[in-house]
Amino acid sequence: MANSAETSSTADRELVITRLIDAPREKLFRAWTEPELIKQWFAPQPLTTTVEEIDVRPGGSHRMVMRDPEGKEYPVRGVYLEVIQNERLVFTDAYTSAWQPSEKPFMTVVLTFDDEGGKTRYTARALHWTVADCEAHEKMGFHEGWGKCTDQLAALVARL
C-alpha cells in the first residue's frame, strides 16, 4: 500500500489562471520582475501598487503594497524560491525576507511562461497551505482579480 502522503493531491488547495498571451515570454518575465512594469499591472484597477523592494533570485525577497482609492493598504511580501529567467518564477509568503517565517503562510505561487511560437502560455498557480485558505482566496475573488490583473499584464506586454 502506498504512503498516503506520497499519493495525496494538492488539487483541493490550488487555484489556476492560464492564458495564451500574444507576446514573447521575455516580456512577461520582465513585467513580473521590473518594478516600473510591476506597478503598471499588478493590482486590479483602480488599486495601485508600489514596489518597495524586489530582489529576484532564490532567497531574495519582494515587498509591495497595493492601495485602494480610499487609501487602505494591502501589503504583499514574500521570498523567491526558484527563478529561471523567462521560464519560471516561484515565490511564497511563508517567509517575509531572507528566511524569516511569516506570521501566517497563505500560499506559494508558481508562474510559468511557456513559448508557443512567439506567444506565451502563461500559467499562474496559487498553491495554498490549507483547503480553507484556498476556499477563502477563491471567495475573495481570485479568478476575477487575478483574471483582471492578467488582462492588464497582457495589455502592458503588448505595448513593450
Q: Above 50 in pLDDT, residue 57?
A: yes
Specify the pLDDT at position 3. Answer: 41
Any idea what DSSP says for residue 108? E
4-17 confidence digits (pLDDT tens): 444 457 789 999 99
14-21 sheet: strands from edge to edge = 14-21, 119-128, 107-116, 88-92, 73-84, 61-67, 48-54
| DSSP character at residue 12 | G
Residue found under cell 514574500: 78
104: its cell numbers: 501566517
Segment among 31-35, 97-101, 147-151 with least mean pLDDT: 97-101
- What is the CATH code for 14-159? 3.30.530.20
Higher confidence at residue 87 or residue 7?
A: 87
Beta strands in the chain (DSSP E): 14-21, 48-54, 61-67, 73-84, 88-92, 95-97, 100-101, 107-116, 119-128
Residues 6+ apart with CB under 8 A from 16: 123, 124, 125, 126
Q: Which of 9-18, 79-88, 151-160 comes out lowest in average pLDDT?
A: 9-18
Give this prediction's pTM. Answer: 0.91
**Beta bridge partner(s), residue 18:** 123
pLDDT tens readout for residues 96-143: 888 899 999 999 999 999 999 999 999 999 999 999 999 999 999 999
**Confidence label for 67 from pLDDT (cuts 50, 70 and 90):** very high
